[in-house]
Amino acid sequence: MKIRKAKEEDLTDINRLCRSSSSPIKIAKEAIKEKMKKGRVIVAVENKKIVGFLQSEVYVDDITNQYIDKAFLLISPEHLGKGIGAGLLETERKYAAKNKIDVLRIEKIDAL
């Protein structure tokens, strides 16, 4: 498995992964593209296929003045339990630590 920053040519595969999910959250290609510009989107690739992604955006909490990295995680149903999510989370944790982000908040998007 390889984890890398998402590219514009990944939009169709990321969108397909979102639509295959039973989650009520469905992310359109344009919304993903916007997140790639404003925030951060990383993908897990296995056998040249995107099998998971993590989208995050950093903001400052108005009350605590802490930098918060709010992230959404989705893994393909066929790849659950294979360490894909752990790999994406570890990559994001390292990014947060490197960028002195105070809080890493993860929301899992169900893909069952």
Tokens of 48: 């040249």
Q: Note the pLDDT tens digit of each residue in 25-68.
A: 556 667 777 777 777 889 999 999 999 998 888 878 777 777 76
Question: How far, in Å, CA of 92 to CA of 86, rounded?
Answer: 10
3-class secondary structure, 36: helix
Tokens of 85: 């999510």
- Hey, where are the domains in the chain? 2-108
Q: Note the pLDDT tens digit of each residue in 61-101.
A: 777 777 767 778 888 888 888 999 999 999 988 988 888 88
Q: Which CATH superfamily is domain 2-108 in?
A: Gcn5-related N-acetyltransferase (GNAT) (3.40.630.30)
